[in-house]
Amino acid sequence: MDNFIERHLAAQYRTLLFPHDYSGEGMFGFECNDGWADLIEATLRLTRQHAELNALDVKVNQAKEKFGQLRIYHSGSDEIIGSVFEIAQLASGSICELCGKPGEVVSLEGWLVARCGKHTGRGHLDPIEAYIPDEKYITSYTQALDMILAFFGTGAVRWVQDERTAFAWRRPLEMLATEEGCQAIFTFLKRLEHGVGV
Ligand SMILES: [Zn+2]
């Protein structure tokens, strides 16, 4: 990952990434490409919120790409935070690891990787633009997932994986790849919450 992102995340989420007695300026090594940076930030933000509310001492021990998905290894979490990390893993397969645009897990030269259409081809990769955090996406993802967890609790991991008639047979985990998709999920559940027929 780009050093800028690692520094940014390490500064913002040091309680999750470093031991309490750590006072240095170190970086946390995210072993994946920048396209997942917003997903990681949204995940860490939700985790920190939930950990603070429930007085949990959650630590992220390692975050890396494996078989085209983001794996976050952690300790001190409860079932809800476990679900947050699990859903991040599922959603990452629908986000290009290089550029952050919607994508899917494909096999490239024998490796499973998450890529958009543009980054699936070999050899002609455009340089990736410098990463800028997309605060709108991060906020939308955080709100959508917060709502999903409030509704379904630990059943959330299952809920995001099934095709939903309400979303024209799309799977919520794919919709979590974009700001619009996150907002559609949020709006849908908000209406359910208020008992509006859907
Ligand atoms: Zn891409």
The pLDDT, as a whole number, for residue 21 is: 80
Question: How many A from CA of 78 to the centre of ligand 1?
Answer: 33
In this prediction, residue 117 carries a pLDDT of 93
Low-confidence ranges of the chain (pLDDT < 70): 122-128, 196-198
Range of the domain at 137: 3-193
Give the number of domains in the chain: 1
Distance 166 CA to ligand 1 centre (A): 28
Q: Is the dihedral of CA 7, 12, 18, 24 positive or negative?
A: positive
In angstroms, the CA 3 to CA 28 distance is 10
**pTM of the predicted structure, to 2 decimals:** 0.93
Q: Give the per-residue pLDDT at 89.
A: 98
Confidence at residue 59, expressed as pLDDT on a 0 to 100 scale: 96
Rounded distance from Cα 190 to ligand 1 centre (Å): 31
How much distance in Å is there from the Cα of 25 to the middle of ligand 1? 31
DSSP states of the chain as a string? Answer: --HHHHHHHHHHTHHHHS-TT--S-----EES-GGGHHHHHHHHHHHHHHHHHTT---EEEEEEEETTEEEEEEES--HHHHHHHHHHHHHHTTB-TTT-SB-EEEEETTEEEEE-STTTSSS-PPPPPPP---HHHHHHHHHHHHHHHHHHGGGHHHHTTS-BGGGTTB-HHHHTTSHHHHHHHHHHHHHHHTT---
Q: How far is the CA of 42 from the centre of ligand 1 (A)?
A: 19
Ligand 1 centroid distance, CA of 51 (Å): 32
In a domain, 58, yes or no: yes
User: What are 73's strand-pairing partners?
Assistant: 62
**pLDDT score at 1:** 84
- Decide if 86 is inside a domain: yes
Q: How many angstroms separate the alpha carbon of residue 95 from the centre of ligand 1?
A: 8
Evaluate whether 96 touches 114 at the Cβ level (below 8 Å).
yes
CA of 126 to the centre of ligand 1 (A): 9
Does residue 198 sit within a domain?
A: no
* Cα gap 96→92, rounded to integer Å: 8
In a domain, 77, yes or no: yes
Residues with CB under 5 A from ligand 1 (ion): 96, 98-99, 101, 116, 119
- The C-alpha atoms of residue 1 and residue 4 are separated, in whole angstroms, by 8
pLDDT digits (tens, 9 = 90+) for 25-83: 777 889 999 999 999 999 999 999 999 999 999 999 999 999 999 999 999 999 999 99
Tell whether 63 is covered by a domain. yes
Q: Residue 126's pLDDT is what? A: 63
The residues with which 112 forms a beta bridge, in sequence order, are 107
How many angstroms separate the alpha carbon of residue 193 from the centre of ligand 1? 35
